Structure 1
Amino acid sequence: MKNFFAILGGMGTLATTNFLLELNSRHNPTKDQDFFNYILFNHAEIPDRTTFILDHSAPSPLPALLEDIEKINVLQPAFIVIPCNTAHYFIEELEKATPIPIVNMIKETVKAIPSNFNKKIGLAVSQGTLESQLYERELLAKGFEVILPDIVLQDKINQLIYTFIKEQAIMNLFLYEEILEEFHSMGSETTLLGCTELSLANSHDPLKRLPVIDAEKILLDRTFQLAQELKIRV
């Protein structure tokens, strides 16, 4: 197979599946051969990223991620995407382990926000992403005003990510909408969805009443652009 890319997923599997569905829905090929060439590492057994970030005595996801990168290196794809925000806690170590470009989900998301955007941005992310300030640092460096969830709101975000989506495959759109409403009541004029489980809920939300910046959708846009460029290579 030539002109292909790699997806390092499985964090979690439902979110990775949604990434693939969204990617393939972005164009309308007329035959099988017009779809993109890619390999998927759905490494479902990678230890939980947030658990490790909050407690470094817990199993680290890094060895498994590095093992996957090593295998991807042998296959030599054109680029790598990782549809998991919290996994970008390890992005520097992963980049050092490969000559293959890794699309940085965090940086791509913040870069996609117009520089003259002066609205307050609510931050809906996993506990691990919140504690490691992956998005907060990037947003503040660009001059954006960030609204962080309080303990009660973050607990609701954690419940949606883990209790409902990861553990039961339940989208719970009522809770999803409630989270967005609470950010809005705190002064947020848009909410950044910085967890692919939240992006999964957004994909299933038929209302979309409140504005969001969906990190997964921005990663999808960039992946689609790069994949299209591969298709036209001779």
Structure 2
Amino acid sequence: MKNFFAILGGMGTLATTNFLVELNKRHTPTKDQEFFNYMLFNHAEIPDRTSYILDHSAPSPLPALLADIEQLNVLKPDFIVMPCNTAHYFINDLVNATSIPIINMIKETVATIPPNTTKKIGLAVTQGTLESQLYERELLFNGYEVILPDTTLQHKINELVYTYIKEQSIINLLLYEEILEEFQQMGSDVTLLGCTELSLANNQDSLKKFPVIDAEKILLERTYQLAQQLKMKV
């Protein structure tokens, strides 16, 4: 197979599946041969990213991620996407382990925010992404005011991501909308969904009552653009 990209996923599997389904919806071919060429690594056994970030005595995801990169170095995709925000804690290690371009989900997301229209951004992320300040640093560097969740709100985010989606495969839309409403009450102009499980909830939310920046959809759009360029080489 030539002119293909790789999806480094499985963190978690439902979120990766949502990314793939949405990518294929974004692309509207008329026959099998017009779909994109890609390889999916759904590495479900990668240790939990948040657990390690909060406690370095927990199993590290990095060895498994580096092993995946080593395999991809042999297969030689044109680029790699990793639809997991929290895993970007290790992005520098992964970039240094390959010459294959890895699309940086954090930077792509912040770069797409319209300047001068949105200033106060609520940050809905996993506990690990919150503690590592992956989005907070990038947003502050680009001149945005960041509205961080308090302990109670972060507990609700953790509950939606882990208790409902990861553990039970349940999309609790009432809790999802409650989270967005609380960010709005805290003064945010828009809420950044910096967790692919939250993107999954957003995908299921038909009401769309609250404005969001969906990091997974931004990564998806960038993937689509690059994949289209590859398709033109075929």
Q: Which category of TM-score, normalised to the shorter sequence, fits these structures?
A: over 0.9
* Superimposed CA distance per residue, residues 106-159 of structure 1 (whole angstroms, 9 cap, x where no aligned partner): 000000112223431000000000000000000000000110000000000000
- Tell whether 2:110 aligns with 1:99: no
Q: How many angstroms apart in 2 are the aligned matches of 1:224 and 1:48?
A: 28
Q: Is the CA contact (8 Å cut-off) linking 2:29 and 2:35 kept in structure 1?
A: yes
Q: Is the CA contact (8 Å cut-off) linking 1:123 and 1:146 kept in structure 2?
A: yes
Q: Which residue of 2 aligns with 1:160?
A: 160
Q: Which residue of 2 aligns with 1:170?
A: 170
Instruction: Give the length in aligned residue pairs.
Output: 234
Q: Is the CA contact (8 Å cut-off) linking 2:118 and 2:189 kept in structure 1?
A: no
Residue 196 of structure 2 aligns to which amino acid in structure 1? T
Q: Which residue of 1 aligns with 2:185?
A: 185
Q: Which residue of 1 aligns with 2:31?
A: 31
Q: How many angstroms apart in 2 are the aligned matches of 1:230 and 1:101?
A: 14
Poorly superposed stretches of 4+, deviation over 4 Å: none
Q: Is the CA contact (8 Å cut-off) linking 1:115 and 1:142 kept in structure 2?
A: no
* RMSD value, Cα: 0.6
Q: How many angstroms apart in 2 are the aligned matches of 1:90 and 1:207?
A: 35
Unaligned runs of 5+ in 2: none
- Tell whether 2:66 aligns with 1:66: yes
Q: How many angstroms apart in 1 are the aligned matches of 2:173 and 2:229?
A: 36
Q: Secondary structure at 2:26's aligned position in 1?
A: coil
Q: Which residue of 1 aligns with 2:83?
A: 83
User: Deviation at 1:28?
Assistant: 1.3
Residue 199 of structure 1 aligns to which amino acid in structure 2? S
Identity across the alignment (%): 78
Q: How many angstroms apart in 2 are the aligned matches of 1:113 and 1:145?
A: 13
TM-score (structure 2 length as normaliser): 0.99
* Superimposed CA distance per residue, residues 31-66 of structure 1 (whole angstroms, 9 cap, x where no aligned partner): 000000000000000000000000000000000000
Q: How many angstroms apart in 2 are the aligned matches of 1:104 and 1:195?
A: 14
Unaligned runs of 5+ in 1: none
Q: How many angstroms apart in 1 are the aligned matches of 2:157 and 2:81?
A: 24
Q: Is the CA contact (8 Å cut-off) linking 2:62 and 2:90 kept in structure 1?
A: yes
